[in-house]
Amino acid sequence: MMEVESKFRSPGNDRVEKALGKLGAELVCEEETEDVYFQHPNRDFGKTDEALRLRKKDGVSELTYKGPRMRMEHTKAREEVTLRTEDPLTVQRIVERLGFKEFMSVHKKRKNFKYDKIRIAVDAVDDLGEYVELELITEEPKRAEALIEQVRGELALTDFEPRTYLELILDMNARNEKK
């Protein structure tokens, strides 16, 4: 399966949530997550455009491998392979014993909505601000891109952000080091 996703800087999460209510989107859940990213012992994931992430949230965690992105106009698609676990510490120990090193963590508060087949995440990310992600898991990336574009228009999201939260934090840290 492919994850097809589009991320935008939020024009204000309250405003987005009101627009979602008017569309009839369903609030599925609210959660706080910590995403721990790992470096491969022999491969630079920054160059190969891959990621290994352990997401910790509400007693259930997920280890996810993310393959290289296929970029489209305002979306990106990539393979995702996910393992759910109730024991994130053991999973992290296994990953570290295999030679992976913890690289960085991203903490966010998220409200998940569902509209049609799209998952809409309204995020407040520590040190970065507010964002909105539109996502579909599918085997048909082009069709998903069209549906995401339609919902993007309905929500009046215009400030497309192609980078991942990890890339945004790394870029911010690099800018701060130059000061």
Contact between 150 and 116 (Cβ < 8 Å): no
Contacts 24+ apart (CB under 8 A), 97-103: 98/41, 99/40, 99/41, 99/42, 100/38, 100/39, 100/40, 100/41, 100/52, 101/38, 101/39, 101/41, 102/36, 102/37, 102/38, 102/39, 103/37, 103/38, 103/39
3 state DSSP class of 14: helix
Q: Which of 37, 65, 115, 131 is catalytic?
A: 37
37 counts as catalytic: yes
CA distance 32 to 114: 18
Catalytic residues: 37
